[in-house]
Structures are given as C-alpha cells and as structure tokens.
Amino acid sequence: MGISKAGSTGQEEQNRTAERDPRKAWWTAARFGMFIHWGLYALPAQGEWIMYAQKTPVREYEKLAQRFNPTEFDAKAWVALAKEAGMRYIVITAKHHDGFAMYGSKADPFNIVDATPFGRDPLKELAEACAEAGIVLCFYYSHVIDWHHPHALHKEHNNTWDYKLEEKRFAEYFEGKAKPQLKELLTEYGRVGLLWFDTAGGLSEEDSKDIVRHVRSLQPDCLINSRVSHFMGMGDFVSKGDNEIGMSGEDTRPWETPMTLNQSWGYTTKDQVWKTADSLIKKLVNVIGKGGNLLLNVGPMPQGTIPELSAERLREVGEWTGRNAEAIYGTDGSPFPVELEWGALTTRPGRVYLHVHNDKWPANGLRLGGIRNRVLRAYCLADQSRTELEFEQAYDEELELHTLEIRLPDEPADQYVSVVALELEGENDFDRTLTQMPDGVFQLEVPHAKISLVREADEEAGIPVIRGAEWTFKLVKPGTYELLLVSFKRHDQAWNGLYPEPILLESAGQVIAVDPREDLADSDSPSCQHPYTAVLSRMGQFTWDQAGVHTLTLLSSRLKDPAPKFTEIWHADAVKLRALRLVRVDG
C-alpha cells in the first residue's frame, strides 16, 4: 500500500544519525537540560538585550561590572537543582551578546574574574560541581554579536552607538576574541559536552566552517548546535527557534527546543508570565515524544541565586521526571507521524510508553493503531504494584491495520501526565504510515506532505510563490469530515492579510477554495509556544465513502521551501501553516 512514509523518515533518520554518530548518543539519551542565562544584565534585571535596547554606551555598561558581586553563587546548589529537576546537562552563557565573559578570559579583560569585585570563575566552579554530580557541562557562546568589541559585525544587531559599521574589521574580533575565547573554554574547563552558538546572521559560510574546524580541533567530541551558522545543515543538532516545538518528522537531525520558564531568558523582574508545572511537563513529553530534547532556561539573579519561583517549578517537574525516568531517558520519539491528541508516546526496545494528559484521561479506554508486536503487559508506571491493565489487540486484514485497546483505571495514576507502559514481544515493529488513529482527531501535518512548487513568485508583479502539499494517508473511518486549517499566528499580528489568497483543498474529486478565517483559538495546543497562538480555520467538509488510502492536496503561498539555504528566525513569520485537521462530523 503506497503510503507516504514521510513521517517516519525524520524519526528513523534521527535514530540512524544517533547510531551513526555515537558522539551524539549521550545527548539524545539525556533528553532534558538546563539552560542558564547569567551575566551583568542581571543587575538592571530587564533581560539580556538591555544594552542594545537602551543603546548603553560601552563605558557606561562596563560600570555594571564594578557592581557585579554574586557572593551567593553556589555552583553545587545550581547543579543539584538541575539534577533534582531531572536535567542531564547544563548549558550556561560563557559570553552573551554584551561581550562580557563569565569566566577568567585572557583574551579579554572584560570578564568576571578581572573586571568585578567577585574575582572568582563561576564556570570553573560549575565544571567541578558538574563533574562531581555526573552532569555534562556545556557553554553558550555568542560568536558573532558582541556589543562591547569594536569589530564584531552581525547582519543586523550591532553596537552602532559607540562604533561605526564602516570601520569594523570583523577578522580582528573573530581572530582576536571569539576564537581565542573558544579555545580557552575548550582547553581549561575539562570536557565540554556541546557549544551552543547563537545568532550567526551575516557570518560567512567559510567563517562558519572555520568555527566548526576550530572546535573539532580542540575537542572532537564536543557537539555543535545549528545556530553556529545561518547556512542550513551546519552543526550536529538543530536548535529550534526560541520556545519552538518541532513537528514530528520535521527534522532529520536530532533537535532541541530552547524554552523559557516565563517568556524571558536573562533575569527580569518585569516578566511574570510563568509556565505551570502541568504545562511544562506536557511540553516536555510533547518534545521527547517527537524525538527532541528540551533545554529549559533559568535566569539567575545578580547575587548569584536562581529565582525561587524558577527553582520551585524545576523541583515540581523533577518529581514527575523522577517517577517516569524510564519513559524519558534513552527513549526514542513516537514512530507514528501524527500528533496524539491525548498526549505523547516514547519507545525503547521492547517498550512503548503512552504519556496520557490527565485532563484527557479517556474513561472508556484508550485505542491506538500501528503496534504490530504482541503486547505482553500493560501497566501504569506510577503504580508501584504494576497492576496489569486489561487490553485487546485486533488486526484488520483489508486495511492492514493493527489496533490496541487498553482499559485504563478510572482515575489517572500520576500528577499532570500519567504514563502507561506496554511491554512488547520481540523487536519493536511499528506501522509508520500516515494512518488515522482510532481515537481523537486526525491531522495531516506539513512535514509529512510531499511539497511541490506550483507557481514561481513574481516579486515585481507582487505575485507570491504557490506550493502544493500532498498527503497520502490511510483513512480508517469513512464518512464526512470537517476540515480545519491549523495555523500558528504570532501574537502581535492581526489576522487580515495573513493568507493573501484562498487555500485550495482537493481530495477524491472534491475541491474547496476558502479564505481562512480566525475561527477558533486552540489555546490548549502543547505544540504551540509563545510568541505564537494556534488558530483553527473552518475550511468546509470532505466525504470519503471508503476506508483505505486517500490523497489530499493543499495549495498555498504559506507553504515554505522544504530545502531553504538559510536558517531563519523562527518568530519572523507572522503566520505558520502547520496542518489540516480532519474531525469526523458524525463523531
């Protein structure tokens, strides 16, 4: 049955990538890390872009260093909190865009050891604490943007209030500060798990490759993230956009979501929009259920402590990860190329873990398609006595469809998300084709479509490119379906004009052309993050009289180039076309 297996490519490819490159194995197995944005900017407490936002002259900004004395800094306490949360690696800002090094750098005296009354090297202390606790230490490094150095040059965000762009000699910064500091970080702090580069806009392909060569020459096993360059495909793993959760099958390389606990990275007293533990755990399982890593951020205060509310959240998350460790660490994401409405799914050899959201706990049992193995046992991971759950498996010859129905306890077994473990007989054997699941709505997601160019853009005539997305999928329940377009709209955008032309849908000889409207907001979408909100647009109805394989085509200017040359700032898009949701009209 020729069904697109696009969805499985991403996950299978990721697994092959990890197996093919054992350097990544520790990182993909770790699944969950702590991001730390800490620097002089903690003093004004308005986030790490304050110098740029206020165009603070370098001489003014340097005065912050004289006041920066984080005497309450305790590396062991930070590492212990990360461990308590269930985080397996720490990525800390060694040097952010303000140019201030949070370690004793000989390459630039503008650093915490030489320029502050504190005089200690927190990265050295963190390296010792991490080694002792078995946590992998990693560094964030802003290798292109540096508002302190006269010759740093980014394509957009430069210090133009102290320095003249036309007088910049990038090589002086690149060879005189960035590369020497990377050498210090890679030779004086022991094993570095990864370097997390950032905002590489304007860095040439050659300089990007030079940075990669430089890192490899010093610590060959140190992983590098994709933001090392704005040229596509560089680095060992993909850093998604800030707070961006990928879609299943979207990346063929391992990927990671950098996420804030509120909506800011560096310490700020202004941003009190905090994610709840419930929301954080659902986002964590959503990410790992797609084979991704979650890098969750804290912004320590100027005295060297992590804000209590952040610590509290991490401890709450840690209680859950502690109980469900086997369903998290060392697992693979779901083999099924569909977003599961009731939660998420991870696997390991001989096991499938169903992460069921408590507020979606199906009282009349949970049905799942696609597991070919015989299931030996099913139980709730949080149930100490591992009481076996009743279940039934069936196989529909004609549809080649394996289904499993599990009778769940009346009440969820855990807090927030309750994991149901399935023990399988033999090698994991899953049907990875794009198939309607027995329960819930069915979504055709953009990464699982074959994308084709339908019409070239004509900028002069103001005619946008039109691309086509074609899904081939297995429909289990024939009938009439409401079609809902799923878009992520940036919160500062009005809806009008976001879709400049009607969306065209075609399947089984039925055609719909509709200008999408902002009909419903799906505020519950775990995959949609700040600064986007998920919007549903009613597109009309299609009827399929037969179960089986069907194709559906969608034409829109909002379908993106599947093979772009450059990476992009994720939140640059006013709207993202994400999926087409099929909701059976007769229930």
Evaluate whether 345 touches 289 at the Cβ level (below 8 Å). Answer: yes
Q: Give the nearest distance from C-beta 107 to ligand JFZ in angstroms.
A: 21
For residue 100, the minimal CB distance to ligand JFZ (Å) is: 13
The reply on whether position 99 binds ligand JFZ by CB under 6 A is no
Q: How far is CA 559 from CA 192, 445, 446, 454, 467, in A?
A: 39, 11, 8, 11, 6
Is residue 444 within 8 Å of residue 552, measured between CB atoms? yes
- Please say whether the beta carbons of 373 and 317 come within 8 A: no
Does 241 sit near ligand JFZ (CB under 6 A)? yes
User: Is residue 256 part of the contact set for ligand JFZ (CB under 6 A)?
Assistant: no
Q: How far is the CB of 219 from ligand JFZ (least distance, A)?
A: 22
Binding span for ligand JFZ by CB under 6 A among 305-313, 355-363, 441-449, 563-571: 563-571
Q: Is the CB of 521 or the CB of 569 nearer to ligand JFZ?
A: 569
Identity of the residue, 569 or 585, whose beta carbon is nearer to ligand JFZ in the bound complex: 569
Report how far residue 587's alpha carbon sits from residue 584's, in angstroms, rounded to the nearest whole number. Answer: 5
Structure tokens given for 306: 């992590």
Binding string, residues 140-179; x marks residues near ligand JFZ by CB under 6 A: ----------------------------------------
- Of the listed pieces 104-112, 309-317, 358-366, 569-577, which binds ligand JFZ according to CB under 6 A? 569-577
Q: Tell me how many degrees the CA angle 13-286-280 measures, rounded to the nearest 5.
A: 140
Extract the tokens encoding 375: 């299931």
Angle of helix 205-218 relative to helix 179-187, nearest 10 degrees, comes to 20
Shortest distance in whole angstroms from residue 391 CB to ligand JFZ? 42
| CB proximity list for 577: less than 8 A, separation 6 or greater | 446, 485, 486, 487, 556, 558, 559
Q: By C-alpha distance, which of 220, 267, 231 is closest to 64?
A: 267
Residue 578 as a binder of ligand JFZ (CB under 6 A): the answer is no
Are 6 and 405 within 8 A, CB to CB?
A: no
Q: Does 570 bind ligand JFZ (CB under 6 A)?
A: yes
Choices 7-15, 115-123, 216-224, 568-576 (CB under 6 A): range interacting with ligand JFZ: 568-576
Binding residue for ligand JFZ (CB under 6 A) from 171, 273, 394, 569? 569
Indicate the SS3 state at residue 410.
Answer: coil
DSSP one-letter code for 175: I
41 binds ligand JFZ (CB under 6 A): no
Cβ closest to ligand JFZ, residue 3 vs residue 102:
102
Q: Which residues pair with 379 in a beta bridge?
A: 421
Q: What does the alpha-carbon distance between residue 343 and residue 352 come to, in Å, rounded to a whole number?
A: 13
| C-alpha–C-alpha distance, residues 447 and 337, integer Å | 9
Q: By CB under 6 A, which span of 203-211, 285-293, 391-399, 564-572 interacts with ligand JFZ?
A: 564-572
Single residue of 103, 265, 342, 353 touching ligand JFZ by CB under 6 A: 265
Considering the rule CB under 6 A, would residue 333 count as an interface residue with ligand JFZ? no
Contacts of 509 (CB under 8 A, 6+ apart): none
Assign 200 to helix, strand or coil: coil
List 8, 46, 105, 199, residue binding ligand JFZ (CB under 6 A): 199
Q: According to CB under 6 A, which residues from 486 to 525 bind ligand JFZ?
A: none
Query: Using CB atoms, what's the residue nearest to ligand JFZ?
Result: 241
223-224 vs 238-239, strand pairing mode: unpaired
Helix (H, G, I), strand (E, B) or coil at 149: coil
For position 189 contacting ligand JFZ by CB under 6 A, the verdict is: no
Nearest approach, Cβ of 157 to ligand JFZ (angstroms)?
8
- Given the complex with ligand JFZ, which of 241 and 343 has the nearer CB atom? 241
Backbone angles phi, psi at 42, to 5 degrees: -65, -25
Beta bridge partners of 483: 540, 582
- C-beta of 18 vs 446, nearer to ligand JFZ: 446
Is position 571 an interface residue for ligand JFZ (rule: CB under 6 A)? Answer: yes
Which position among 18, 36, 48, 267 is part of the footprint of ligand JFZ (CB under 6 A)?
Answer: 48
Selected from 198, 414, 431, 445, the binder of ligand JFZ by CB under 6 A is 198
Distance between CA atoms of 468 and 232, rounded to whole angstroms?
22
Distance between CA 362 and CA 364 in Å, rounded? Answer: 5
| Residue choice 99, 258, 337, 370 for contact with ligand JFZ (CB under 6 A) | 258
Q: Which residues bind ligand JFZ (CB under 6 A)?
A: 48-49, 198-199, 241-242, 258, 265, 569-571
